[in-house]
Amino acid sequence: MSVSSWIRVRSERAFGRLERVTPVTSRDRGWIALSMLPALVAVSIYLSTNAYPAFGAGLYVEFAEQIAANGFVPPTNVEHYTSDGVPFSYPPLQFYVVAVLLELGAEPVTIARVLPGLAVVLATIPAYVLGRDLTDSRPAGAAVAVALSLNPQVLQWHVSAGGVVRGFAFLYALVAISAAYRAFTTERLRPVVVATVAFGCTVLSHPTYTVFAAGSILICYLAESRTVAGFGRGLVIGLGGAVIASPWIAWAIATFGVDQFTSAAGTHGGVGGGANAIIGYASLAVLVPLAAGAYLLFRRRVFVPLWLAFAELAFKQPRFSYAVGAFAIAATVVDVVDRTNVVGVASDVARSLSVDEHATIGAVAAVCLVLSTAVGGAYLAHEMTLESDPTTPEFLDDESVEAMEWAERETDEDATFVVLGDAAEWFPLLADRTIVVGPWGVEWRNPDLFYDHIRAYETSSRCQTARCVEAASTNVSRVPEYVVVPKGSYTVRGHPAKQFGVLDRSFEASADWERAYENDGVVVFHAVETDTDVALDSRPVDHVGAR
């Protein structure tokens, strides 16, 4: 069998299985392929331009390692992320997925680099289905998928390392919303089951995406099916999802209480921060979807405008409004085309040329989608190869990984570190040592302490003197035993930063520090212990509200 024949047979089988479990038919096959193409292009560009994962997922993989080491029983606390560690309060589904992959022998960094791309590609299927159903147009459904795959704001949150959680949470949320729409607009039972399971998976994956899915489903009910039957279906989806997630919910509340979850919800922008974001940054990327939503509202098609308003106002992060905006723009374009009889004119032209009108219109739409993929892919390739890559900055490089390997090999197991720059997020996982400054996961312990750690981390990472690093560190902890200083370019919370050797020389000149390790990209300094240090080290530190 030739390679092309093998690919065709495997594709036929894959689409056959897809048709049995999803609302697609043979007529959707080509459009689904076009929907997946830009995602495959985007993921391929990302993998070819990023030798290491973008952003961070060290804490996530550390959770997974602890789960695997604990016999797949959830731990209550995860060490090395600050002196006190962080509580395992996160929804656990994806950590268990990663734990299984680790047990099968996959490398942590490889998982964080490759796995999110799978979610990005798979998410195009529910995006296509929902776009198709909302517009009654297969090309429009594919256009929605193309827009989601090539939008840098949406892509960076899902293809990067944190996509091991967020990418799949977005996938589950889209499946839940797409199935819920069909549950409210048809009398079939399968969409109810699919929406229930997908919503449960969303709850078990990420709290922000849970709010996105729950709010979207509620709006869909209010707009499409305000009936007793619709209410019953919505109740089944909501309560059913909660039942699926109930073992974890019960364990988490019994272990940590409710207050921890409510306090953590206010961090990272919280819910309801979108209004200020709109006022402060009203770009075309925001205004065009809003204009599309206003048009649809004028046309009395209320679901998408209400959904867009929810996404804009409820979330500070724009990825949700951009995602819903793609549906709004597609629905508006289809409505305008229908009202202006563009398709009818195109059909007349096709008939006058004695060609198949449906095939011609479909071919034109397909060409437009392919061209959009080419242009969008070229833009992503340009952006991802910039030295100051804003979409997929890498927190790791060969030199930082070598320094972590040295730390694991040559320092005491209870050694404490301050790591300047974003490599700090990966340090506890790869070095198996404790960082005393770092906000990751701290929001689940105490929101005030979370913001204190952010300030200490950002300040220390941009310091130019050893005294500055010491002062920033003592705001949340004690002076560490080691400080890891990057050379040259690095990032701080994803934003470019640079050291020119000033900080190195400050540590060299200090009588309190000595050089312990150095390579081409990193230098590590070790604290020289004095009697004063021992006395200071014995003092308790008040973490809560420390300034």
Number of structural domains (the chain) is 2
Last residue of a domain, one of 321, 340, 359: 340
**pLDDT per residue as tens digits for the range 60-116:** 999 999 999 999 999 999 999 999 999 998 999 999 999 999 999 999 999 999 999
pLDDT of amino acid 536: 40
**pTM of this structure:** 0.90
**415 plus 522 within the same structural domain:** yes
Pairing of strands 434-435, 513-518: unpaired
Angle, CA of 232, 234 and 240, to the nearest 5°: 95
Query: Does residue 326 belong to any structural domain of this protein?
Result: yes
**412 plus 525 within the same structural domain:** yes
Element (DSSP H or E) covering residue 189: none
Using a 10 angstrom Cβ sphere, with 0-12 exposed, 13-18 middle and 19 or more buried, the burial of residue 167 is: buried
Query: Does residue 530 belong to any structural domain of this protein?
Result: yes
Q: 6: pLDDT confidence band, cut at 50, 70 and 90? A: low
When mean pLDDT is compared across 253-257, 261-265, 438-442, the lowest value belongs to 261-265
Distances (CA, A) of 400 to 35, 55, 490, 492, 524: 38, 14, 10, 14, 10
**314 plus 410 within the same structural domain:** no
CA distance 77 to 47: 33
**428 plus 527 within the same structural domain:** yes
508 or 538: which leads in pLDDT: 508
**pLDDT per residue as tens digits for the range 216-225:** 999 999 999 8
pLDDT of amino acid 17: 63
Q: In the beta sheet, which residues pair with residue 498?
A: 489
For residue 276, give the amino acid letter. N
Last residue of a domain, one of 302, 317, 340: 340
CB of 80 closer than 8 Å to CB of 432: yes
Q: Which domain range does residue 528 map to?
A: 398-537
* Three-state secondary-structure class, residue 449: helix
C-alpha gyration radius of the chain? 26
The percent of residues above 70 in pLDDT, for the chain, comes to 85
**pLDDT per residue as tens digits for the range 466-499:** 999 999 999 998 889 999 999 999 999 999 999 9
Query: Does residue 212 belong to any structural domain of this protein?
Result: no
Query: Does residue 520 belong to any structural domain of this protein?
Result: yes
Last residue of a domain, one of 340, 359, 379: 340
Sign of CA dihedral 346, 351, 353, 358: positive
CB of 394 closer than 8 Å to CB of 53: yes
Q: Name the token pair of 175.
A: 């499946």
**429 plus 335 within the same structural domain:** no
**334 plus 416 within the same structural domain:** no
CB of 486 closer than 8 Å to CB of 522: yes
Largest Cα span, the chain: 95
Query: Does residue 199 belong to any structural domain of this protein?
Result: no
HSE (CB half, 13 Å, CA atoms) of 269?
14
**336 plus 410 within the same structural domain:** no
Instruction: Indicate if the pLDDT at residue 262 is higher than 90.
Output: no
**pLDDT per residue as tens digits for the range 353-388:** 555 556 666 788 899 999 999 999 999 999 999 888
Give the CATH number, domain containing residue 410: 3.40.50
**pLDDT per residue as tens digits for the range 8-48:** 666 666 656 655 667 888 889 999 999 999 999 999 999 99
**402 plus 336 within the same structural domain:** no
Q: Name the token pair of 250.
A: 């019960």
pLDDT of amino acid 374: 96
For residue 75, give the amino acid letter. P
For residue 61, give the amino acid letter. V
